[in-house]
Amino acid sequence: MKCLVTGATGFIGRSLCLALSARGDDVIALSRSGGAVCESLPSTACDLAVEDVDPARLQGVDVVFHLAGIAHQKAPAASYETLNYGATLRLARRARENGVRCFVFLSSVKAMGPPRGSEVRGETDCTAPRGAYARSKRQAEEALLEEYAASAMSVLVIRPALVYGPGVKGNLLQLARAVAHGLPRPPEGGRRSMIALADLAGLLCHVSTHAPPGNHVWIACGAGSYSTRAVYDLMRAALGRGAGSAWLPRLAWRAAALAFDLASLNRGESTYSKLFGSELYANRRVVADTGWRPAVRLEDSVQALVAGARA
């Protein structure tokens, strides 16, 4: 099978390209910088915010995996709309014009909006998205599903929960670094669904050949969920340390999180909510529709997380 992957040198894109290559697919890798995915797989520079994919690169392509986008950056709202929404629609149109049979769009559970409570959410349990990133992803989802409702090209929207694995950045890396530097044990509270990088790459490969006909929206998450305390305990164990001391009261955690938000000019989800809120999702629909099942637990990957924090 011939596949085109945007965002090929990113955290998820690199893993996907390697998985596709390992199963024998012909991979066309695109990235903003044009860096190599690995020694044997170069990528072609293509900044989708300012240019479109050359139609010649789409000739004979069976599946487009669109992973490129702005996520963990403090960019202007217009930048999210330009890349996450506008560039997505342009790429999908070029893919259809060149006979691509399947367009896989990597969205996010953030496109579903914030949870109303601690209930486990399915694909239709949505609220108004909050923040430029979430809004741009929801816009792209809705536009794709509307435009290609009766198209020969199928559209598969994948909404991953928090992704972890070797090379992870963002909140998990910050937590791992804090644990390595002696962070006290957090209080119990809240749980979050997560998915291993290897599982997400495997799912993306799987749906490209096992999706039922038509367009679909699927949540991607692992079988378990984890509280910040549970993640902390796993990280401590991976560092070869005993249980940490929970000497910092919850009120102090709330005050410290608020101080961090004010100092960093955080306008998104509060740090306290990220640490102790609940975001629970169900993967029942994608399992039923495609037969895919997650295989990796956080316990299997935590050693790589703390190694990255040490580095």
Q: Where are the domains of the chain?
A: 2-165+193-222
What's the pTM value of the predicted model, to 2 decimals? Answer: 0.94
Q: Per CATH, which fold does 2-165+193-222 belong to?
A: Rossmann fold (3.40.50)
Structural element, H or E, at residue 167: none
pLDDT digits (tens, 9 = 90+) for 13-59: 999 999 999 999 999 999 999 999 998 999 999 999 999 999 999 99
**Nearest in space to 300 (alpha carbons), one of 191, 221, 196:** 196
> Dihedral (C-alpha) 236, 193, 200, 167: value to the nearest 10 degrees?
-30
CA dist 133 and 249 (Å) reads 33
CB 238 within 8 A of CB 306: yes
**What is the per-residue burial (b if ≥16 Cβ within 10 Å, else e) of 82-96?**
bbbbbbbeebbebbb
Query: Which pair of tokens denotes residue 282?
Result: 């169900």
pLDDT in tens, the chain (311 residues): 999 999 999 999 999 999 999 999 999 999 999 999 998 999 999 999 999 999 999 999 999 999 999 986 678 888 999 999 999 999 999 999 999 999 999 999 999 999 988 899 999 999 999 989 999 999 999 999 999 999 999 999 999 999 999 888 888 888 999 999 999 999 998 899 999 999 999 999 999 999 999 999 999 999 889 999 999 999 999 999 988 999 999 999 999 999 988 987 877 778 898 899 999 999 999 999 999 999 999 998 888 888 877 76
How many helices, marked H, and strands, marked E, lie in the chain?
Answer: 11, 12
Q: What is the reported pLDDT for 166?
A: 86
